[in-house]
Amino acid sequence: MAREKSPKIALVDYGAGNLRSVAKALERSNLTPVVTSDPSVVHSADGVLLPGVGAFRDAAQALEAAGLSNAIRDVTTNGRPYLGICFGLQLLFDEGTEHGITPGLGQLAGRVTRFPDKDENGDPLLVPHIGWNEVVYEGDHPMIQALPERDIYYFVHSYRPEPTDESIIAGCANYGGSFAAAVAKDNVFAIQFHPEKSQAAGKRLLDAYRVWLQES
């Protein structure tokens, strides 16, 4: 019996992510990562994954300096299944507010803001949000259809997205109050947490990404 083809994933390298751990996680889900900063490779891959950690302004500037901003805009508008992790989610929005206002890619309406210093009850909130937290999914995006209704993932972040259109929120977590932990729109699925650090739950998510790719 012929072995099932492993989809080729453009793992976008713009100097702002732990690519090795993400690549290993993709391989465990029978996906073939191609680490690249070449827009033509991004356009030709079966799927595109944009990771990233650090500061919003640095990540946005690094993506632009690498000549990848327009490639990501093209993919998220007309391309194949896109998976964003952490900054791969945040950079899709209109703007970030870390170290002043920085324009994002403008593919999703809204902004990225810091967690407040106090939770919804007025008690002090530790920022950054680091550790395991439950995400509850909702909606009918193909990724969500392949995932459990809720799962527990690993988070490391001080900022979270605030979508203007709440209909794109595909999953919520609670830290000082509810926040968007996943968004979905057409060929875009993006998450605030780190599947490469989330053990079995992370593998379930990347397995779901493989299924989405194969059915697209």
* Strand ranges of the sheet holding 93-96, from the earlier edge strand across to the other edge: 102-103, 93-96, 108-114, 159-163
88-102 pLDDT tens trace: 999 999 999 988 999
Q: Domain 8-215: which topology? A: Rossmann fold (3.40.50)
Residue 41 pLDDT greater than 60, yes or no: yes
Catalytic residue numbers, as ranges: 86, 194, 196
167-201 pLDDT tens trace: 999 999 999 999 999 999 999 999 999 999 999 99
Strand-pairing partners, residue 191, are 85, 182
Residue 14 pLDDT greater than 60, yes or no: yes
Strand-pairing partners, residue 94, are none
> What is residue 4's predicted lDDT score, i.e. its pLDDT?
62
Residue 119's SS3 state is coil
Neighbours of 165 (CB within 10 A): 11
> What is residue 2's predicted lDDT score, i.e. its pLDDT?
45
25-36 pLDDT tens trace: 999 999 999 999
Share of the chain above pLDDT 70, in %: 98
pTM of the model: 0.95
Q: How confident is the model at residue 1 (pLDDT cuts 50, 70, 90)?
A: very low
Which amino acid is present at 193? F
Domain boundaries, given as residue ranges, for the chain: 8-215
**What are the helix and strand counts (H, E) for the chain?**
7, 13
